[in-house]
Amino acid sequence: MNNTLLISGHPNLERSVANQGILDLLVDESNITVRKLDKLYPDYCIDIAAEQAALLSADTIVFQFPLYWSTYPAIMKIWFDEVFTYNFAFGPEGDKLKGKRVILSITCGATANSYSEGEFNFLPLPQYLQAAIHPIKAAQMAIVDEVITFEMNSTESEGGNRDQVMQLVRQHTEQLLQAINQINQ
């Protein structure tokens, strides 16, 4: 049986609708281990050895995060900075994660169309994700799938709709589970 590790990079799941909803729907999945960075490291002091051990024990790794401006939230950035160390994730002996399969699971509050030149977010989404993908590629991991859902904004004062977000959460989770199951066959 393949082990899947999900790294949740939301900075405050208690305030999250979309990311917390996805994790709630995954709670009964016995082959998925979830590490909630906001709960494990509210002080942003990452246990590097524990995180590296979790990565080494996984066959497939899911990076779950909301898109914040141009990349993932600060807690996930710090996690990458501290966990993907020289001679672990990169460098002459840094092949410990080489070949690990990765799924990007991303929630975006804006519309898909807004990630176009001349639109609200100015750039296509792949350009936004370059910084997020860099450490994964540097570690020689293989991004095998992406599950990206737009319009995951539930804040009514910003034009969001909680009911719509919950429907999108279910669809996103189904797509994520399909991707995991397909990879782990």
Rounded Cα distance, 184 and 178, in Å: 10
Question: What is the full per-residue pLDDT of the chain (185 aa) written as tens digits?
Answer: 489 999 999 999 999 999 999 999 998 887 899 999 999 999 999 999 999 999 999 999 999 999 887 789 999 999 999 999 999 999 999 999 999 999 999 998 777 777 777 766 566 667 778 888 999 999 999 999 999 998 887 666 666 677 888 999 999 999 999 999 998 77
User: Rounded to 5 degrees, what are φ and ψ at 8?
Assistant: -90, 120
Domain ranges of the chain: 4-183
At residue 139, what is the residue type?
Answer: A
Q: What is the dihedral of CA 127, 141, 59, 72, to 10 degrees?
A: -30
| Domain 4-183 CATH assignment equals 3.10.450.40 | no
At residue 59, what is the residue type?
Answer: D
